[in-house]
Chain A
Amino acid sequence: MKHPFPFSAIVGQDEMKQAMILTAIDPSIGGVLVFGDRGTGKSTAVRALAALLPPIMAVDGCPVNSAKAADVPDWAMLETKKLVEMPTPVIDLPLGATEDRVTGALDIEKALTKGEKAFQPGLLARANRGYLYIDEVNLLEDHIVDLLLDVAQSGENVVEREGLSIRHAARFVLVGSGNPEEGELRPQLLDRFGLSVEVTSPKDIATRVEVIKRRDAFENDNTAFMLRWQAEDAAIRDGILTARKALAQLKTPEKTLHDVAELCLALGSDGLRGELTLLKAARAYAAWRNDTALTRGHVKDMAPMALRHRLRRDPLDEAGSGTRVARIVEETLG
């Protein structure tokens, strides 16, 4: 298989890259939604992220990538419970996926050959403790969306079909990308994404030329190009690991909490998810930048990403919600 385009080699699109790094630092932020025009490198960035993520320890052969032997579900019927290192799973949810494939279903092969009723885990099981990537998320069939909403919320996949009754852990970071021209996303699904970024194609010629050159180099001599960017990718990976450790020590002053709450109140975002995500994102951002305490600056920088998709939607508002957030941030936090 060809290597994906290296993450560090992506020109510009800083907000998108930042958002992805933040979810890698703190998966509980809850995923990224990337909306933008055609040909802006949305899919490229997500696929690049997979190569960048630090490996995880999981029980060998466990269908849900359990971290401890005790977490392995009974139906997996594993012999050994040895821990092995494996890459963080990044699972593609293709648009055409059927419900069976997403949630898992009766294992036909076992049923046919052995007459056994066994469970064949689906994509949600494989994505546990990793990432679930949906390209063209706004074109996803409604019934699959319903399914995802429930699982993303509860962190557990419950399968009740064909006489099977099975539940397993399914905690994953949702990453979605799409082109808003082709259809909008239901607010319920929007809310499940922690951060949202909007990408546009770079406007100045120099940047565009650089994109073209790197892409061409990548396609011409894959190995050399990967080698060239290996160090940079590794630096980001190390940064993520350092930030994960630093996150625990990070101080959150009362004043900043106040800022966050005030901001969300001013924006009128629904529920408390906005506050929580903004706080988590700001903390991860501070850790990534090697700061020891959370400040108003961090909150200000993260507000557009964390809140832009949570505003009470006015479908007829022409100004982008990003602008609205920026304006209110300026008004409240100065």
Chain B
Amino acid sequence: MAEAVWHRAVLAMQLLAIDPALGGVSVRARSGPVRDRLVSLLTWLPEPHHRIHPAISDEALFGGLDLSATLATGHFVQEQGLLSRSGTVILTMAERAATQLAARLAVVLDAGATHRLIALDEGAEPDEALNPKLAERLAFAVDLSGVSVTEAALPDSVDLAAAITHLRQVAVPDDICEQLTRIAAQFGIDSLRAPLFALRAAKAHAALCGKMTVDADDVEIACVLTLAHRATQMPSSDEEEQDAPEPDQTDSDDQDQTDTLDLPDELLLEAIKALLPDNLLDRIAAQKARQGKGSGSGAARKGNRRGRPMPPRPGRLGDGARLDIVATLRAAAPWQTIRKQATGRDGLQVRSDDIRVKRFEEKSDRLLVFTVDASGSSALSRLAEAKGAIELLLAQAYARRDHVALVSFRGTEAEVLLPPTRSLVQTKRRLAALPGGGGTPLAAGIVAALEQAVTATRKGLTPTIVILTDGRANVALDGAGNRVQAAADAQRMAQVVRAQRIDALVIDTGNRPEPALSALAQTLGAIYLPLPRADAARLSASVATALGD
């Protein structure tokens, strides 16, 4: 099994070496001997090899001012960027590449078969993955996490040069095109890049084997290499699969009934789930998570995500100030002639009062983590109102360009329905589809919300947790139905939230204010809003006020 994976990885490298139009390979593996061995195969790919990291600046990529040469000569010397010549780009820590970098690399890959990209993805969690924009443009994806060193044998050398020259002569029978397109469609792959890659991979494989026409073997290998990791559904039992990703969509049409008709819905959902193979569902879930991560151009840059570079201003170096080289040179430039005459020296003359430092305006985005109690008690009374209120809040969040995440808890556990995103249509859809019923695992809900909030903080967002519940926690963290333990767990988790200095808001949706919730809010250091019988509009108005808008 693992040997087959390794074999496929090696094959992907060979095919990539033969045809640059394949874009590249995404290699998911932790740093280690197996990955090193695969990286050593990069010698097959044409020079120059550039290793880049996700935080690389545009100047390094596309070129910019060459400071030392400019200063030495007194002429403006443009430095060549790493991407200005064709070659092989190795992106390390690829899972950390922000959408902005991915977009730039994507443009380069789109521009023509000049660059090959090897994305070394070290993601440990399923939602840490290569940006979909880049993944889309790389023909191959290999996952080496299950391969051990002994299984990763170095391959025999093959005559790649011969294969490259042979590639142009490989003929493709007409029906192969159709077959590949059909297969891709059956796997639910929308993008047309996938069958194109499959076709090119099949040709490259035929060239590698010295064949004149593409045959069934090539097609099979090409499909395994290029299509398998893109699949979003299993072929041949179309109906269920198409319903599967959004099983509860019918809910959104009849809002009023959501709180009474949930159980049959849930049964239906389970029934559909049972029909699906496990790994496919996992994969779809992982893809959803990835999409969520990429949306709103969120992710990566710390603090000054929306930070507008302010005009540089005169200043001193030191204290962590960053020199704005271009601005400094600009400031010095008009004086050069005079200074030359005054000092009689040649070359660039920069004085301390020419120094300009960079400034950024920092403004971090807000993230609202809605933590919704979907338990039986809530569902019966207030879930519809809570949903309505969240929708109104979402509309406000939209106006303020806030990010939103959605966590629900019921039964024995909490579930992240939507990772931080700005796509409110998605949020609404998930919310409408939220079924009710089961116990109230309040502590689990807080834990899930906290995870979202902490991750968001690392990305430079300012999270606020909004908990909507009727407060009778009755399921403990370990899933046991123990009222006392459940309340204690909730309190404990609230302390953790407070220790992390994350803002929170507790909305009591019960019919009568619940003292336990008031206590919880106190532990959280949060505002407590008991809103018995409040309708959606009043609920959202109170929340908006509490949030200080």
Contacts and interface: CB of A to CB of B under 8 A. Distances in A.
Contacts of A39: 136, 190-194
Contacts of B191: 37-40, 201
B100 A139 contact: yes
B16 to A, nearest CB: 16
Nearest to B184: A208
A124 to B, nearest CB: 18
Given A112-B70, A113-B75, A181-B291, A139 B193 contact: no
B295 interface: yes
A139 B107 CA distance: 13
B318 interface: no
Contacts of B178: 205, 209
A38 B192 CA distance: 9
A103 interface: no
A216 B171 CA distance: 11
B422 A96 contact: no
Interface residues of B, number: 69
A115 interface: yes
Contacts of A2: 112
B421 to A, nearest CB: 9
Interface string A118-156: 000000000000000001101101110000000000000
Nearest to A139: B297
Interface of B, secondary structure class, is helix
Contacts of B398: 315
A94 interface: yes
Contacts of A219: 21, 113, 200
A84 interface: no
Given A212-B195, A212-B196, A183 B297 contact: yes
Nearest to A142: B306
B341 to A, nearest CB: 10
Contact of B391 (A40, A162, A205, A316): A316
Interface stretch (B331-339, B469-477, B503-511): B331-339
Contacts of B99: 139, 182
Interface residues of A, number: 55
A317 B110 CA distance: 34
A181 B423 contact: yes
B153 interface: no
Contacts of B546: none
B333 A108 contact: yes
A318 B394 contact: no
Interface in B415-430: 422-425, 428-429
Contacts of B394: 315-316
Contact of B395 (A112, A216, A315): A315
B192 A201 contact: yes
B100 A96 contact: yes
Given A182-B99, A315-B394, A316-B395, A112 B192 contact: no
A115 B174 CA distance: 65
> Most B CB atoms within 10 A — which of A41, A43, A112, A219?
A112
B318 to A, nearest CB: 25
Contacts of A184: 422-423
A250 to B, nearest CB: 37
Nearest to A117: B334
Nearest to B392: A316
Contact of B190 (A112, A201, A216): A201
B495 interface: no
A211 B192 CA distance: 8
A255 interface: no
Nearest to B335: A115
A183 B297 CA distance: 6
A106 interface: yes
13 contacts: A43-B110, A96-B58, A96-B61, A108-B330, A143-B309, A161-B311, A162-B330, A183-B295, A183-B296, A212-B199, A213-B177, A315-B398, A316-B428
Given A38-B193, A112-B70, A115-B335, 16 more contacts: A38-B133, A38-B136, A43-B110, A95-B107, A105-B330, A108-B65, A115-B333, A135-B107, A139-B103, A142-B308, A183-B295, A184-B422, A215-B192, A215-B196, A315-B425, A318-B428
List the 5 shortest-distance A-B pairs measured between CB atoms, nearest first.
A39-B191, A111-B333, A115-B337, A109-B76, A96-B58
